[in-house]
Amino acid sequence: MKRTRWILGTLCCAALLLAAGCQTFPDARGLSVSPVLPKENEQIVRDQVLILVDSSDSVCVSGAFCYEKELARAFVGALPDGTYEAGLTLFGGVPESQWKKHASAPFDRQALARSAADLKMLGGYTPLAGGVKSFDKEVRGKTGRSALLVFSDGEVCNRNRVLKACEALKAAHGGELCIFTVHVGKCTCGKKLMQEMASVNGCGKYYDGETLNSAAAIQGLVRDIMFGPKEPAPAAPGPKASRTKIILNNVLFDFDKSVLKPEGKAEVDKLVGEMKAHPKDTVVIEGHTCDIGTDEYNMGLGQRRADSVKTHMLQGGIDAGRVATKSYGESKPAVANDSEANRKLNRRAEFNITLGQE
């Protein structure tokens, strides 16, 4: 069955050859292009570029294959240096095991150039659909942006099969696959197919091969396929706003008491909110008393006052490991204990806050 299909394909394409007649193509020997550099507003947007070159019987008409080969070599030479993958496949109407394949791999200019320079005629009918399908493993599951560049005359006997192969390759790719086609031929039916291939995925482009016979044209081809608008650089982080400790009023207590009053709870709640917003902050609650009573008693009273504040903070959701307490008793008065009004100010709790590194 396969042999019958091959014979029919060969006869069909032989008819295409006869219909095409003897055509000539420009002499592209010696066409050499240096690696293209992105412009100031451009960057490489491809993660992978795959090149498919047709070497079937139909492209042998009046040196078409030689011209196609030189275009492919010039394209490889003009590819920009970058961290993308690249691969090349030469196909024809012979068993696929005889095709020349440079598997997709991190871009290696010299290795890819050697593969392009080694392109040779294979002959036979034009299995363009098979050539497209041959990249299935290399694009399947890719999530970046790939490009397939096809050099061919587009002269096949089953154009629908080729278009379906393009659609299937796009479906196998997990990201974006754009198909670019270079038509090296004279047949209008081949031109139409190559145009349709380029439009299958909505992001490709068709080129008339005869218009690419210059360094400037090859540079334009590379720029179209490989470059896109430069993404703006991420904004540099601005200077960190310096933080200052929250200003809190001292929490005051009644004589010989350690129970938080409503106005004291309001101050503690301010600190709770601040520490929730900055989870690396810590605090030491300091308890103080006036000078009435013994030193020993006042040291215990100061501790009870500090503990009362801590309990309220824990109830507000602050982790116990972030809150410490310390009693100074009457040893560190805020003001002199020389009046009842001043003694009221010394019956207090103070906050010693340490700001954490954000």
Q: What is the mean pLDDT of residues 163-170?
A: 96
> In the prediction, which pLDDT does 239 show?
72
Averaged pLDDT of the chain: 89
Which range, 49-53, 236-240, 318-322, has the best average confidence (pLDDT)?
A: 49-53
Residue 62 has a pLDDT of 56
323-329, strands of its sheet edge to edge: 251-252, 348-354, 282-288, 323-329
- Reference 146, options 161, 135, 157, 155; nearest CA is 135
- pTM beyond cutoff 0.85: no
Which whole number is the average pLDDT over 319-342?
94
Q: What is the pLDDT of residues 93-136, one digit of tens each?
A: 999 999 999 999 999 999 999 999 999 999 999 999 999 999 99
Residue 2's pLDDT is what? 43
List all residues 6 or more positions away from 13 whose beta carbon is below 8 Å from its beta carbon.
Answer: 56, 57, 58, 93, 125, 126, 155, 156, 157
Mean pLDDT confidence for 198-209: 93
Residue-range domain boundaries for the chain: 23-229, 251-354
Tell me, yes or no, if the two domains 23-229 and 251-354 fold the same way: no
CATH superfamily of 251-354: OmpA-like domain (3.30.1330.60)
Using only C-alpha atoms, what is the Rg of the chain? 40
User: Greater confidence, 251 or 248?
Assistant: 251
* pLDDT at res. 235: 75
CATH number of 23-229: 3.40.50.410
Q: Is the pLDDT of residue 28 over 80?
A: no
